[in-house]
Amino acid sequence: MEDQQNFGQRKMYQGQWTCSECGAAITELPFEPDGDRPIYCRDCHRKRRKDTGRRF
C-alpha cells in the first residue's frame, strides 16, 4: 500500500528546477518553490523522509 492519503487533487506547478541533492531535473512540483529552501526529486525526497522519519 502506498504511504499516501487521498485528500483530493492537488495543484501541481510546472517549471524547470534541479534537485538540491542529486542534480536531477524536476519539471513538476506539488508546491511553488520560494527559492529559499532546497527542493528534492521524488527519489531523494523519499530517501530523506525514510532516513529522518515523518515530520508529524
The count of residues in the chain is: 56
Contacts of 8 (CB under 8 A, 6+ apart): none
The H-assigned helical ranges of 1-56 are: 42-52
Mean predicted confidence (pLDDT) in 4-15? 81
Q: Is the pLDDT of residue 1 over 50?
A: no
Domain residue spans of the chain:
13-52
The predicted-structure confidence for 13-52, as pLDDT tens digits, reads as follows 999 999 999 999 999 999 999 999 999 999 999 998 887 7
Of the two residues 56 and 38, the one the predictor is more confident about is 38
Torsion (CA) 36, 48, 10, 15 in degrees, nearest 10: 50
